Structure 1
Amino acid sequence: MMALPDKDACMPSRSCAVVLLTLLSVLGPWPVARAQVPASVPPPAEASIDQAIQAQMREGGLVGVAAAVIVDGKVAWRGAYGFADRETQRPFTTATVMNIASISKTVVGAAMMRAREEGRLDLDADIQTYLPFRVRNPRHPAVPITLRQLATHTSSITDRWEVYAANYHFGRNAPQPLGDFLKGYFTPGGADYGPENFLDAAPGSTREYSNIGAGLAGYAIESVTGQPLERYARERIFGPLGMDSTHWHLQPSDQRQGATLYLSQDGIAVALQPYTVTTWPDGGIRTSVDDLSRFFIALLQGGRVDEVRILKQASVDEMLRLQFTAEHKPANVDLAEKNSGLFWQTKFNTRYVGHGGSDPGLKTEMLASPDLRTGVVLFTNTAGADTDKAYVGILKLLFARADALAAARPKR
């Protein structure tokens, strides 16, 4: 994408309006529902969190919301509101499955660290050591690209918009295998190859969020393990944690039971067909608040939930460690605004850490306090120009609830 921003930031240069118009032109007419007349948000001191969240939903025209609050490695509160599908009035619950967009990258990060534990890869080795094709920035052919750079978005790989946008597929799984797409993007003479797939800057010197780079990291894991990434994650992460509803790729159950996604603009919520993207490791996971909370707790608790361990403490420490310092950081990074772990990052000017996700019709967050004591998982199946203020308002309510619950408990 012509310097496509993070899927977890509502895409100013990606342009939500352009995406909306493009999708509507492609999809044709779809069910339309007008948002309810906005109501004023009650003062927090006079309303329960349920009432306050529902008021924010009315303000922003959000069709469905589900969330969980985590304190000291346990789900301390959870709630769900509105509809997974407005037409059938099917309620949104914390078990409702939907796309989570770029939060998927944290699973790629965990799988990468697990493969490292197994001695299959080195975070600082040349990425092409693990690939059946060569990956080099043509402006800096002697400088290797590494998994650490992919995971901190410093690889110099860019997302060329006209290529990336064409790889969204509605109503079906992506027809092109991940490896074929990546080979065509990175190999001179390939179908999507071009010097503009890379920055002028050398690998390691500049931060540029890259979804395709994350897809490349996922493919490298497949290459070194000899397993499809979804199977590797199922065996080592999802299965052990009991995340039975979590999967990559579109399944029949997603269309019957998953959340319908809505694009919202000017008080109108337009239902979308389910979709996938060719570079699916970067944002293709479908899961529920309940399932994702299990994974999040594992990261916050050093790789372990109850008696189940998916990663060693040292691996989680390295994944969550903020990699940039005053002496060693990309030239375009202000540490007061942004820092990065391995597919993990600071948010809201370093107030929180974790990851978010944004794609047509959805917004998600999986964020923790810097001390990792409290965390919030938040899903909504509605996104657009009208929704951001309400979404941030709900996020604030959830962190206020987390702080209150933490204050009522003695520190461990």
Structure 2
Amino acid sequence: MAGAACSTGQPAAPAAPATAPAAAERLEQSFKAVLSDPRHGMSSFSVLAIRGGKVSYEGQFGMRHIDSGNPSLSRAATPATMYRIASISKLVTTMGVMRLVEQGKLHLDEDVGTYIGFSLRNPAFPNTKITLRMLLSHTSSLRDEAGYSWGANVALRDVFHRGGALWATHTVPGAHFAYSNLNWGVVGTLMEAASGERFDRLMRRLVLQPLGLRGGYNVAEFSSADWSDTATLYRKRVGEGAWNPGGPWVAQVDDTSAPAPVVAGLDRYVVGTNGTLFSPTGGLRISAADLGKIMLMFMDQGRHAGAAFLQPASVEAMFSRQWTYDAGNRNGDTHGGLFAAWGLGTQHFEHQAGAKSSLVEGGGFAASGHLGEAYGLLSVFALDFANRNGMVVLIGGTMHDPASTPGQYSALSRQEELLLTPLYENAVLPSQ
């Protein structure tokens, strides 16, 4: 389904400055070409741009569900289509954290053991506390190598006590950046412990409902309409086998031809013991339009629909730099230059031309936000506070392994670059 400037459906904002017809046409042609490109093609994608604090473009392309046996049952991506947004979920989870901080139920610099009911320490530094601030900025020294998600019958207390040094790097907590999904499993656990609520329902109450957002972290509680509006994520590969770009699209997660999956053993789960169940790290399903609402809330210093959702100080804390890479001291793993600076649940992107974390060709877009990649999905959420500009890109699956199609100007995949730069040039920069 082709996109359009300020398309109908569920708008992310009131009437927006329209993208000029010529620019909108360039975008349409560029995006249609990318969708079917034999080297960089995708199953579907949904994009949104904000210029000057208002949505300037929204478009959806491709199919949110593909039935190769009966194409008439395939369904196009629409403005209502929700994607499992992978690690952008961390940013949204952090919004819930900051609401609990504002309520005095959590404190950024408190020892996390205060909340989760057991001592969590790096074995190499047993006298150094690990704090919520460290978890949110990936400086806690926790790592993923031994896993970061467990079932309802597992308690994190037991996981950490069994794992010993497998769960931590040999760096003092607070001093070194190492991107870790496990951080957010601990975050979800302490959110449950501090509130007494199951993570998925807590996030619905704290974040989704107040902002009027559809979706959530638990598809088993979706309505049939919301499940139908959820994009199936695809790869052109079976299991862990080789990619086959000429073969069929293979569903990886959220296959909406079947009923929504349920979490096994949830009826016996003890709240506050294992926050990984609903993946605070990557399990949120949400549309590009609703991510646009979140972006506008941040631009308005925490206000939504005329009311305070987050305090300005909370927005400032999330987007202020907590860690910046220092090449001389090698104070973090940059993943090939992709990570240069970090806030609380937010990444800072460099804007100079040639910087590996730059989002657009030629640089110029000084932005903060988050990236995501999982189960075939690639995602970008990036906003420029100074100019009140932003972009959202959600890709439902790629024909080729993104690792085999690296970006030409950044550490992103080429697929992401082919959407971000045209979107920026035609819908974020002054319209021509």
Common fold by TM > 0.5: yes
Match of 2:345 in 1: 343
Counterpart AA for 2:199: L
How is 1:130-149 mapped onto 2 (pairs within 5 angstroms)? Answer: 130-149=115-134
Q: 362, 366, 369: which is aligned to 1:354?
A: 369
Q: Which runs of 5+ in 1 are unaligned?
A: 1-43, 168-173
Q: Could you say if the C-alpha distance between residues 111 and 105 of structure 1 is closer, same or farther in structure 2, counting changes exceeding 3 Å?
A: same
- Assess if the C-alpha contact under 8 Å between 1:241 and 1:308 holds in 2: no
Q: TM-score, normalised by structure 1?
A: 0.77
Which shifted more, 98-107 or 394-403?
394-403
Q: 103, 109, 119: which is aligned to 2:88?
A: 103
Q: Could you say if the C-alpha distance between residues 45 and 249 of structure 1 is closer, same or farther in structure 2, counting changes exceeding 3 Å?
A: closer
Match of 2:159 in 1: 185
Separation (CA, whole Å) in 1 of partners of 2:390 and 2:113: 36
Aligned residues: 348
Match of 2:175 in 1: 205
- Assess if the C-alpha contact under 8 Å between 1:185 and 1:197 holds in 2: no
Separation (CA, whole Å) in 2 of partners of 1:46 and 1:70: 14
Deviations 1:314-348 (A, max 9, x none): 11011111123689x97236799611110001235
Q: Could you say if the C-alpha distance between residues 222 and 375 of structure 1 is closer, same or farther in structure 2, counting changes exceeding 3 Å?
A: same
1:257 aligns with 2:223: no
Match of 2:215 in 1: 246
Q: CA RMSD in A?
A: 2.8
- Assess if the C-alpha contact under 8 Å between 2:199 and 2:278 holds in 1: no
Q: Could you say if the C-alpha distance between residues 319 and 138 of structure 1 is closer, same or farther in structure 2, counting changes exceeding 3 Å?
A: same
Shift of residue 175 of structure 1? 4.2
Shift of residue 225 of structure 1? 1.7
The SS at the match of 1:66 is: strand
Match of 1:296 in 2: 295
How is 1:23-62 mapped onto 2 (pairs within 5 angstroms)? Answer: 48-59=26-37, 60-62=40-42
Shift of residue 280 of structure 1? 0.8
Q: Could you say if the C-alpha distance between residues 300 and 185 of structure 1 is closer, same or farther in structure 2, counting changes exceeding 3 Å?
A: farther
Q: TM-score, normalised by structure 2?
A: 0.74
Separation (CA, whole Å) in 2 of partners of 1:313 and 1:102: 24
Aligned-pair identity in percent equals 30
1:385 aligns with 2:385: no
Q: 189, 195, 208: which is aligned to 1:225?
A: 195
- Say which structure is richer in helix: 1
Separation (CA, whole Å) in 2 of partners of 1:320 and 1:279: 25
Separation (CA, whole Å) in 2 of partners of 1:121 and 1:160: 28
Deviations 1:144-172 (A, max 9, x none): 000110011000000025x34xx4xxxxx
Separation (CA, whole Å) in 2 of partners of 1:46 and 1:154: 42
Shift of residue 47 of structure 1? 5.5
- Assess if the C-alpha contact under 8 Å between 1:106 and 1:344 holds in 2: yes
